[in-house]
Amino acid sequence: GAHNLGADPVRAAVEAGVPVYAFAVGQDERPADVQIVRAQASAVGYLGRPLPVEVEVRSWRYAGREARVVLSEGELELGRQPVVLPGDGLAETVSFQVEPTTAGPHIFGAVVEPLEGEFSRDNNEALVSTRVLQDRAHVLVVAGGPSQDLAFARRSLSMDSSLVVETLVEKAAGAMYQ
Residue 161 has pLDDT above 60, yes or no: yes
Q: Give the three-state DSSP class for 66.
A: strand
Q: Residue 126's CB: how many other CB atoms inside 10 A? A: 19
- Judge contact between 22 and 3, C-beta under 8 A: no
Q: Is the pLDDT of residue 14 over 80?
A: yes
- Report the SS3 class of residue 153: helix
Query: pLDDT tens across 112-129, in order?
Result: 999 999 999 999 999 999
What pLDDT shows up at residue 178? Answer: 64
Q: 104 or 27: which carries more pLDDT confidence? A: 104
Whether the predicted pLDDT of 173 surpasses 80: no
**How many Å apart are CA 81 and CA 94, to the nearest integer?**
7
pLDDT of residue 30: 80
In which band, very low, low, confident or very high, does the pLDDT at 22 lie, cut at 50, 70 and 90?
confident
Q: Which residues of 66-75 are buried (b: 16+ CB within 10 A; e: fewer)?
A: ebebbbeeee
Quick: pLDDT tens for 40-91.
999 999 998 999 999 999 999 999 999 999 999 999 999 999 999 998 999 9
Report the alpha-carbon distance of residue 107 to residue 127 in Å, rounded. 7
CB 94 within 8 A of CB 61: no
Strands (E), 99-162: 104-112, 125-133, 137-143
Distance CA 54, CA 43 (A): 13
**Secondary structure (3-state) at 21:** coil
Note whether 88 and 64 are within 8 A (CB): no
Q: Which residues contact 124 (CB under 8 A, 6 or more apart)?
A: 34, 35, 36, 111, 112, 113, 114, 118
- φ, ψ for residue 124, nearest 5 deg: -95, 5
